[in-house]
Chain A
């Protein structure tokens, strides 16, 4: 009886220590240790994918890069967990959050959004882009700042002159929007057409580049 009571008190003390008010201090310390861990993993090149949110005129974009280059730009409406899960499945689950590897991307995007940059000098990783989409997006990447093409023209450039619908699908699932400028591809009559980030943003980007109203 006494032994039982003693053990319960001891167990309560052991548990209490883990759960009491100091639990929040421990959680803060653990979070800080985890941030240092992610920074170290990124600095030592141990992650296969790093990601970070960056501010933009559209809100927080999620950027992700591999050792090869920028692999994903996600708009604010996209579910971060779904984006990360897709990267885990398609590339590698060794994914950590760290702003440092994405700093060059952040800087170039900031310059672009302020009108100070017309072309990106960033290495890209095309790992999320299938063979047909790769041809379409390579043709898209060749459209200069301020220029536009129609879906049909891009399909023709990609070697599939009748594939404007398929080209539209490839553009709609562009994993690296803005940097691969799928916003420069319009409907045949010149209508802005669809955009994964919403037609308002497509129009905004085209205005930034001075491609509308000419």
Chain B
């Protein structure tokens, strides 16, 4: 007899766009599907123990953030010295539009915490406090990561 949590399906309906956008931006569309499934399966397992007043978006993006780190680590383990150009093209093809492809490749190349901070801020539209919760750091550290990420992007991207 638990809580006032919404039925899991309603939770998925409400959070799927944010999770999908976060994952496409942080691991690329070809791996977003697996990460999406893993994220919500993990969420489902933990779901009944969650407090009803939890910030569900920050919570599920925390899980998505961890899954994106797993995906990046797995990619690094199997990476060839030169990344397969076809794979890069494939990832870029599904990215929004040509001028943005450069920007999102640069976002993908950021260090994990900066990447997540940028994506959580601008793609998932989370406030600093929730970004901090999602990546497991203080609010100040989240601000710094975001700032550092933006600084790096400004150097490499001609926006």
Contact = CB atoms under 8 A, between A and B. Distances in A.
Main secondary structure of the interface of A (DSSP, over half): helix
Given A10-B157, A26-B24, A37-B40, A93 B16 contact: no
Nearest to B100: A17
A36 B118 CA distance: 28
Nearest to B19: A30
B1 A95 contact: no
Contact of A37 (B1, B37, B100, B107): B37
B54 interface: no
A90 B1 contact: yes
A34 interface: yes
Contact of A17 (B1, B36, B103, B153): B103
Contacts of B48: 92-94
Contacts of A17: 25, 95-96, 100, 103-104, 122-123
A129 B46 CA distance: 27
A127 to B, nearest CB: 11
B129 interface: no
Contact of B17 (A26, A37, A49): A26
A33 B16 contact: yes
Nearest to B147: A7
Query: Interface range on chain B: under 10, 10 to 19, 20 to 34, or 35 or more?
Result: 35 or more
Contacts, number: 125
Nearest to A88: B7
Grouping DSSP codes into helix (H, G, I), strand (E, B) and loop, the B interface class, with mixed when no group exceeds half, is helix
Interface in B69-128: 95-97, 100, 103-104, 107, 118, 121-123, 125
Interface in A87-128: 87-90, 92-97
Contact of A93 (B6, B13, B20, B41): B6
A79 interface: no
- Chain A interface bracket (under 10, 10 to 19, 20 to 34, 35 or more): 35 or more
Contact of A22 (B1, B4, B41, B97): B97
Interface in A24-41: 26-27, 29-31, 33-34, 36-38, 40-41
B159 A9 contact: yes
Contacts of A11: 122, 150
Contact of B45 (A46, A87, A93): A46
Most chain A CB within 10 A, of B3, B8, B21, B29, is at B8
Contacts of A87: 7
B154 interface: yes
B57 to A, nearest CB: 14
Q: Top 8 A-B pairs ranked by shortest CB distance?
A: A30-B20, A14-B122, A95-B7, A84-B7, A93-B5, A22-B96, A18-B123, A34-B16
Interface of B: 1-10, 12-13, 16-17, 19-21, 24-25, 29, 32-33, 36-37, 40-41, 44-45, 47-48, 95-97, 100, 103-104, 107, 118, 121-123, 125, 150, 153-154, 157, 159
19 contacts: A11-B150, A13-B157, A14-B103, A18-B21, A18-B123, A26-B20, A31-B16, A33-B33, A34-B13, A41-B41, A41-B44, A47-B8, A84-B7, A85-B6, A88-B6, A93-B3, A95-B7, A96-B9, A96-B12
